Amino acid sequence: MKLVALIGSPRKGGNTDTLLQQVAEGYKAQGGEIQTFYLNELNLRGCQGCYACKKTGQCAVKDDTTEIYKAINGADAVVIGSPVYFGRFTAQLGLVLDRLFAYLKPDFSSSLAPGKKYGLVFVQNQPDPKLYAGCIEALAQVLSRVGFAAGTKPLVGSGLGAADAASQNEQYLQNAYALGKELATANK
Ligand SMILES: Cc1cc2nc3c(=O)[nH]c(=O)nc-3n(C[C@H](O)[C@H](O)[C@H](O)COP(=O)(O)O)c2cc1C
């Protein structure tokens, strides 16, 4: 049982990272293993719109996304975390999301193995957790479009400004741990 964690925040040890580590703990407690990608540390390019993937089934851009594809292919579930930046997810995450286009076949059906679950974690400074629901929904739509199975309820950590804010919020830590357990249970 394997979970891939994609961390879209450049702030290592910040709120996204803290909550995704808790998701990982919850998943591990159920016997699962985790592979984590700090997207900001990778060599990533955006989709080049060349449509080579529609001919060959593979993305033509050779960068660290190749490792992410491999990890997703071998995983049971994916958890994606991002801070809200100007009302949306980070550019680092956006690069990877566009590259998931390679999972769509020429007829735009999905080549992803069925049944891969996903979890979403967003953190934001604003206190209203529903403020960026449109952004979360947009991300869920991308994942559904490329063939992921229904996601778990997104976790939104609102009112988190300083990098250590999530680490001091027991409720969010517990919710993140529970999300990890839920993703694992869904895979059993
Ligand atoms: C460039 C930038 C844009 C941001 N835009 C928003 C925003 O639109 N709404 C919001 O609530 N917080 C915004 N924030 C605050 C972050 O979402 C917040 O501090 C979050 O907890 C950072 O997560 P991290 O510690 O994982 O990096 C922004 C922060 C930065 C650096």
**16: Cβ below 6 Å to ligand 1?**
yes
Strand ranges in the chain using DSSP code E only, listed in sequence order: 2-7, 33-38, 77-83, 117-123, 155-157
* Residue to mutate (ligand 1; options 84, 130, 160; most atoms within 8 A of CB): 84
pLDDT band at 187 (very low <50, low <70, confident <90, very high): low
Backbone region of residue 183 per phi and psi (left: phi > 0; alpha: psi in -120 to 50; beta: other values): alpha
What mean pLDDT comes out for the span 116-141? 97
pLDDT of residue 151: 80
What backbone torsions phi and psi does residue 176 show, to the nearest 5 degrees? -70, -45
2-187 CATH: 3.40.50.360
Contact predicate 23/103, CB 8 Å:
no
Instruction: Indicate if the pLDDT at residue 161 is higher than 70.
Output: yes
Task: Determine the atom of ligand 1 nearest the C-alpha atom of 81.
Answer: 26
Instruction: Indicate if the pLDDT at residue 186 is higher than 80.
Output: no
CA gyration radius for the chain?
A: 16
pLDDT tens digits, residue range 9-21? 999 999 999 999 9
What mean pLDDT comes out for the span 164-173? 98
pLDDT tens digits, residue range 58-102? 999 999 999 999 999 999 999 999 999 999 999 999 999 999 999
**152: Cβ below 6 Å to ligand 1?**
no
Task: Determine the atom of ligand 1 nearest the C-alpha atom of 11.
Answer: 27
Question: Three-state SS across 106-130?
Answer: CCCCECCCCCCEEEEEEECCCCCCC
pLDDT tens digits, residue range 19-30? 999 999 999 999
Q: Measure CA 58 to chain center.
A: 21
pLDDT of residue 150: 83
**Residue bearing tokens 């952004």:** 135
Q: Where are the domains of the chain?
A: 2-187
Distance, CA of 18 to CA of 71 (rounded, Å): 21
Which residue from 151, 166, 163, 10 is spatially nearest to 91, judged by alpha carbons?
A: 10
